[in-house]
Structure 1
Amino acid sequence: MEQVVEMLAVGMICALLTAAAVIAWRRFHPVADEEESGEEVAEYMSMMIALLYALLLGLALVSVWDLRDRSQRHTAAEAGALHQMTVLAEGMPPAQRERIDALAESYAAHVVQEEWPRLADRNGLGERGWFPLRQLRAAAAAPPDATPAQEVTALELLAQLGALDDARRGREADAQETLSPALWSGIVIGAILSICILFFFRIGRSPSQLVMAMGMVGLTVFLGLLIHHLASPFGEVMGVSPDPFTRYFPKSAGV
């Protein structure tokens, strides 16, 4: 909530600065009478720019929100598969069950305490996290004297481990993905064009126009910051949290 308030505050400051700039521009650059004939053209151009820019912002928002949603689903699937392994381990011999539980706790603690800060900085997962998965694979194998039920349980454990591995790889790919540079370029250029309209197309002559211009600038800045934060799916502001891991494995939070 604090981050949203900060984004709104930044947008309001930009809107106020833009309003001041428009008033100063209108004062020192008065409109000549012959310029009145271009009013219809200016309105049409500003309308088209605003429409195209709105479409571009919508496309960017859909892209970054889909990335965040995909990251959240991968995180939940990974934590769920790890938890399911500890549930299935109840059907294995006591020593093997304790081994699986300990490895699951160790893996969850590594993800929460070490991998999540790396994901926020887009540094990848590293190699250490794969080691406990290999240990889990070995620990999930059926013992030589396994009963038929334990053999089935071992197969289910390996299936959950496969799901965990796929979700982990998806989480790693999500951390490296970001908004297309082409979309970022369009967002920046569109914002510049939208603000230039205020100066070159004689918008802001009346208080109502000035208020609408301030609202447009403030909303544009807010949406730009929102897209920026959502483009980091594991960022500190609006990124996916490791709550699925800490919910199933409270000790992994390290508190």
Structure 2
Amino acid sequence: MWLVIVVAVVALLAGLAANRWLRPRLVADDDDTGMAVKDMVGPLLTMTVLLLSFVLVTANSSYGKAEVASRGEARALDQLVETAEYAPQVQRARIQSDAVCYARAVREQEWPAMSDGHGSPAPSVWSTDFRLAFRTLEGKPVFGMLIGADNKRSDEREERLTQASASIPGAIFWFLLATLVITVMALGICLPRRNNRGQLITLTVITALLTTMLIIIRDVDRPFGGIINVEPTAITEVEQQANRDFLSHNPATGLPCDDKGNRLAA
């Protein structure tokens, strides 16, 4: 970091020194104008747009990973429910009921928590219960299939929680905001004082576009909160399917959790 700062300062001082002592020798006539402010605004605007575009791509990548992880977790949980059909009746009922409660805990408790970049301990209660049920199946063919599906579910959940955190550091966001302010102010300084209606409209449109892009970056960087967010659609569908499978085999047995995935008292 310090190397970049030192090089930038040296470059600035070298440029000012060249302007002070070298430019008079290179320019024959008396030059009092040089580069106008409006000539320097173009590169500044280009840099601002490039920075915003680069950060937007990064934020969109995080959003895409979050959506893929959410769907992958739902598929792994669905595979777990289907694989449980090959287990004995007692273990099958326990695994399928745990899957319903896990999905409810993810949907009702962990999803809202992820809007602030956090997770919830509620789903871990049921993932632990999965492993307790698996232990009673050691040595049977279905054991390896269940372990594989559960490992996939665990990996996808971890990826989902990772993507819930902002991928763009706050310092970068504030730097982008400062760059936007400087760019808009520089454009405003270069506007003519008279007959400037067209320029004012153009500046307003540019400001609106840059601001909208920065808002989109801020929103997409938090894929589980905001206007553009990943909905728990996939995990909800798996919950409904797992609930139907459980009730088809155990019509007289209730689930061990409430509607929010909290374990009921024995």
TM-score (norm 1): 0.76
Residue 196 (str. 1) matches residue 190 (str. 2): no
Q: Is the 8 Å Cα contact of residues 188 and 203 (structure 2) preserved in structure 1?
A: no
Q: Is the 8 Å Cα contact of residues 110 and 122 (structure 2) preserved in structure 1?
A: no
Question: Could you tell me which residue of structure 1 aligns to residue 238 of structure 2?
Answer: 248
Q: Is the 8 Å Cα contact of residues 41 and 187 (structure 2) preserved in structure 1?
A: no
Judged with a 3 Å threshold, the aligned counterparts in structure 2 of structure 1 residues 227 and 39 are, in CA distance, closer, same or farther, namely farther
Q: Is the 8 Å Cα contact of residues 56 and 186 (structure 1) preserved in structure 2?
A: no
Question: Could you tell me which residue of structure 2 aligns to residue 120 of structure 1?
Answer: 115
Number of equivalent positions: 213
Q: Report the alpha carbon displacement of residue 134 of structure 1 after superposing the two structures with TM.
A: 1.3
Q: Is the 8 Å Cα contact of residues 39 and 201 (structure 1) preserved in structure 2?
A: no
**Structure 1 stretches (4+) deviating beyond 6 angstroms?**
none
Q: Is the 8 Å Cα contact of residues 56 and 183 (structure 1) preserved in structure 2?
A: no
Query: Among residues 223, 226, 250, which one is paired with 1:233 in the alignment?
Result: 223
Taking the TM superposition and a 5 Å limit, the aligned residue runs for 1:194-233 are: 194-202=183-191, 205-233=195-223
Question: Could you tell me which residue of structure 2 aligns to residue 138 of structure 1?
Answer: 132
Query: Among residues 89, 95, 103, which one is paired with 1:108 in the alignment?
Result: 103
TM-score (norm 2): 0.73
User: What CA deviation, in whole Å up to 9, does each residue of 1:188-235 have, x standing for no partner?
Assistant: 111111211233223575333222111101111111211111121210
Taking the TM superposition and a 5 Å limit, the aligned residue runs for 1:20-31 are: none
Q: Report the alpha carbon displacement of residue 58 of structure 1 after superposing the two structures with TM.
A: 0.6
Question: Could you tell me which residue of structure 2 aligns to residue 47 of structure 1?
Answer: 42
Q: Report the alpha carbon displacement of residue 244 of structure 1 after superposing the two structures with TM.
A: 0.9
Q: Report the alpha carbon displacement of residue 92 of structure 1 after superposing the two structures with TM.
A: 1.2
Judged with a 3 Å threshold, the aligned counterparts in structure 2 of structure 1 residues 216 and 43 are, in CA distance, closer, same or farther, namely same
Where relative contact order (Cα < 8 A, 6+ residues apart) is larger, the structure is 1
Query: Among residues 58, 67, 77, which one is paired with 2:62 in the alignment?
Result: 67
Q: Is the 8 Å Cα contact of residues 85 and 160 (structure 1) preserved in structure 2?
A: yes
Q: Report the alpha carbon displacement of residue 157 of structure 1 after superposing the two structures with TM.
A: 0.8
User: What CA deviation, in whole Å up to 9, does each residue of 1:132-161 have, x standing for no partner?
Assistant: 1111122234537x7xxxx23220110110
* Alignment root-mean-square deviation, CA: 2.5
Structure 2 residue runs of 5 or longer lacking an equivalent are 1-31, 244-256, 261-266
| Percentage identity across paired residues of the two chains | 21
Find the residue that maps to 2:121 and give its secondary structure.
coil
Find the residue that maps to 1:153 and give its secondary structure.
helix
Question: Could you tell me which residue of structure 1 aligns to residue 172 of structure 2?
Answer: 183
Q: Report the alpha carbon displacement of residue 180 of structure 1 after superposing the two structures with TM.
A: 1.8
Looking at structure 2, the residues matched to 130 and 63 of structure 1 have their Cα atoms a distance apart, in angstroms, of: 30
Q: Is the 8 Å Cα contact of residues 99 and 139 (structure 1) preserved in structure 2?
A: yes
Q: Is the 8 Å Cα contact of residues 120 and 232 (structure 1) preserved in structure 2?
A: yes
Structure 1 residue runs of 5 or longer lacking an equivalent are 1-36
Question: Could you tell me which residue of structure 1 aligns to residue 15 of structure 2?
Answer: none
Output the amino acid matched with 2:227: V
Q: Report the alpha carbon displacement of residue 116 of structure 1 after superposing the two structures with TM.
A: 0.9
Higher helix share: 1
Question: Could you tell me which residue of structure 2 aligns to residue 161 of structure 1?
Answer: 150
